[in-house]
């Protein structure tokens, strides 16, 4: 865990709250700020929701977590340490499917070559309808 080093090298401090938030996101895989808070409450005394927001922002700045938008509402965070993946969200049933970024590499290459756009694959979410819901 290099959380401590990353924090210290920028003058930030290591606190139990910061460890907990990162652990929550890592364990949950996908977590909204509210999800992370719930996870933390189940095992320790709890952390204030505003601290969760501040910490997620900080962890993202440090490159330890990333976020996407899997629904209309809250953003969803996941650990940057997790293998990078693309999200498919089925609108009818709400299911979230993760895929290897390989499936979008043709698209990424096209965007780079045609318009010089560097796509952020880890942030990509494709909405649509899954196989079951299409029947």
Q: How far is the CB of 80 from DNA (least distance, A)?
A: 19
Nearer to DNA, 57 or 100 (CB): 57
Q: What does the alpha-carbon distance between residue 95 and residue 66 come to, in Å, rounded to a whole number? A: 20
* Alpha-carbon span 43 to 119, nearest angstrom: 38
**Residue 2 DSSP SS3:** coil
CB of 20 to a second copy, least distance (A): 24
CA dist., res. 51 & res. 63, Å (int)? 18
Which option in a second copy, DNA, none does residue 106 bind, with CB closer than 5 to 8 A by kind?
A: a second copy
Contacting DNA (CB under 7 A), which of 73, 83, 106, 116?
73
Helices 33-43/49-61 angle, 10° precision: 110
125 counts as binding DNA under rule CB under 7 A: no
Q: Which of 24, 26, 31, 33 binds DNA (CB under 7 A)?
A: 33
Judged by the rule CB under 8 A, the positions of this chain that interact with a second copy are 69, 72, 75, 88, 90-91, 97, 99, 103-104, 106-107, 110-111, 114-120, 123-124, 126-131, 134
Q: How far is residue 53 CA from its own chain's centroid?
A: 13
Q: How far is the CB of 28 from a second copy (least distance, A)?
A: 21
Q: Which residues pair with 117 in a beta bridge?
A: none
Which tokens hold the place of 107? 């698209």
Which two tokens mark 11? 């003058």
- Can you give the binding site for DNA, defined by CB under 7 A? 4, 7-8, 11-18, 32-34, 46-51, 53-55, 57, 73-75
């Amino acid at each position: 865990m290099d959380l401590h080093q990353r924090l210290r090298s920028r003058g930030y401090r290591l606190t139990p709250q910061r460890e907990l938030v990162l652990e929550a996101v890592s364990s949950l895989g996908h977590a909204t700020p509210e999800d992370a808070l719930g996870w933390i409450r189940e095992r320790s005394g709890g952390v204030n929701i505003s601290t969760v927001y501040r910490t997620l922002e900080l962890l993202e700045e440090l490159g330890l977590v990333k976020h996407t938008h899997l629904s209309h509402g809250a953003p969803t965070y996941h650990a940057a340490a997790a293998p990078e993946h693309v999200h498919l969200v089925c609108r009818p049933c709400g299911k979230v499917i993760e895929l290897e970024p390989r499936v979008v590499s043709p698209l990424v290459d096209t965007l780079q070559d045609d318009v010089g756009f560097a796509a952020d694959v880890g942030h990509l979410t494709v909405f649509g309808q899954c196989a079951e819901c299409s029947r």
